[in-house]
Structure 1
Amino acid sequence: MATPAKSVNDSSFFDRFAEKTSKYAGSTGVFVGAFTVVLLWAATGPVFHYSETWQLVINTGTTIITFLMVFLIQRAQNKDSLAIHLKLNELIAATKGASNRLINAQDFSEKEIRLIHDFYCLLAEKAKEDNDLGETHSVEEAEDNHHEKLAAHRA
């Protein structure tokens, strides 16, 4: 018997836990609660004579929470980043005249990204020269312009 395909909405326990926790952690109520804990801790300073144990309580608590939240936040950021890449890829794929070479640009090497960045800088320069905000240019035009400049410099 064939195994049913996993639904897009199916997610693991950890996926659901991480999503709910990160939404909850970013809420106003959690911020107010954390701020209140810090105020209460500060207010108890005189009672505990600002002892090392009193300081250790807040240091340990905040360190543990920060350590765990870093991973949770990174996970949420990775998911958001992937979703944005997918949306941009869809726009590139659906837009006539857009360069499909830029689909999955996040997978390019830093050298490749810098090269493409240079081409877009050339496009910006061409647009400035034209003094026409409605004029558009392609990456290919920028590349041709770049090659012409290189040839002129070599001559």
Structure 2
Amino acid sequence: MPEQKLDTPDGTDALGSMPSTNSPSYATHSGLQTAFDHFASRVTRWAGSPTMFCLALGVVLVWALMGPAFNYSENWQLVINTLTTIVTFLMVFLIQQSQNKDSVAVHLKLNELLAANRHASNRMIGIEDLDEQDLREVADFYTRLADRAKQVGSDRRAYSIDDEGMPERLDRTS
């Protein structure tokens, strides 16, 4: 089956298409960012493994067993405090990188489901960019919508934010 060309006349990718390796967006990928992303993914998978947990537990047990030999001194305590602080400090950045990437991927998947479902409101695509107060207003709206659906009873009608309208302050279409 021949591959369809999805580029627009100005050379950019068509709406909804994945960037190809010859697209402008592909050329702007940072090699450092890509390397860090791969490194962070591998390390977070490795750090969350049972083997790594057992290794960390073993280090703590060895440290605890060595306490009497060092008379539970400040230096003995400083060793574990320094080690755990350094590991925690570095892992925060690696885990956050992986979490950010996973979060973006989940949002994109949900956006695709919204865009593909003809009964879903496309206005919900990108809602994660709203601030917390705006999100609470939308959540309150859905609570009222759920209450309305309960009042109607066994009517299998699907209700959407498009039926009632986005709260006026948040409606980006008007």
* TM-score, normalization by structure 1: 0.82
Decide whether the 8 Å contact of 2:37 with 2:97 is kept in 1: no
**1:82 Cα deviation after fit:** 0.2
2:9 maps to what in 1? none
**1:143 Cα deviation after fit:** 4.4
**1:138 Cα deviation after fit:** 2.3
**1:122 Cα deviation after fit:** 1.3
Superposition RMSD on alpha carbons, in Å?
A: 2.6
* Partner of residue 91 from structure 1, selected from 82, 90, 113: 113
**1:133 Cα deviation after fit:** 7.0
Identity of aligned residues (%): 50
2:86 maps to what in 1? 64
* Partner of residue 39 from structure 1, selected from 53, 57, 61: 61
Q: Matched residues in 2 for 1:84 and 1:140: separation?
A: 23
Relative to 1, partners in 2 of residues 1:140 and 1:41: Cα closer, same or farther, differing over 3 Å?
A: same
Structure 1 counterpart of 2:109, which letter?
Answer: K
1:122 maps to what in 2? 144
Structure 2 counterpart of 1:78, which letter?
Answer: N
Relative to 1, partners in 2 of residues 1:77 and 1:139: Cα closer, same or farther, differing over 3 Å?
A: same
Residue-pair matches, total: 143
2:159 maps to what in 1? 137
Residues 27-67 of structure 1: CA deviation (Å, up to 9, x unaligned): 11000000000001000101110000000000000000001
Q: 3-state DSSP class of the match of 1:47?
A: helix
**1:142 Cα deviation after fit:** 3.7
Q: Matched residues in 1 for 2:102 and 2:152: separation?
A: 38
**1:16 Cα deviation after fit:** 1.7
Residues 68-107 of structure 1: CA deviation (Å, up to 9, x unaligned): 1111111111000000000000000000021111100111
**Unmatched 5+ stretches in structure 2:** 1-20, 169-174
* Partner of residue 129 from structure 2, selected from 103, 107, 110: 107
Decide whether the 8 Å contact of 2:67 with 2:76 is kept in 1: yes
Decide whether the 8 Å contact of 2:37 with 2:98 is kept in 1: no
Aligned: 1:25 with 2:47: yes
1:153 maps to what in 2? none
Q: Which has the higher helix share?
A: 1
**1:18 Cα deviation after fit:** 1.2
Q: Matched residues in 2 for 1:53 and 1:102: separation?
A: 56
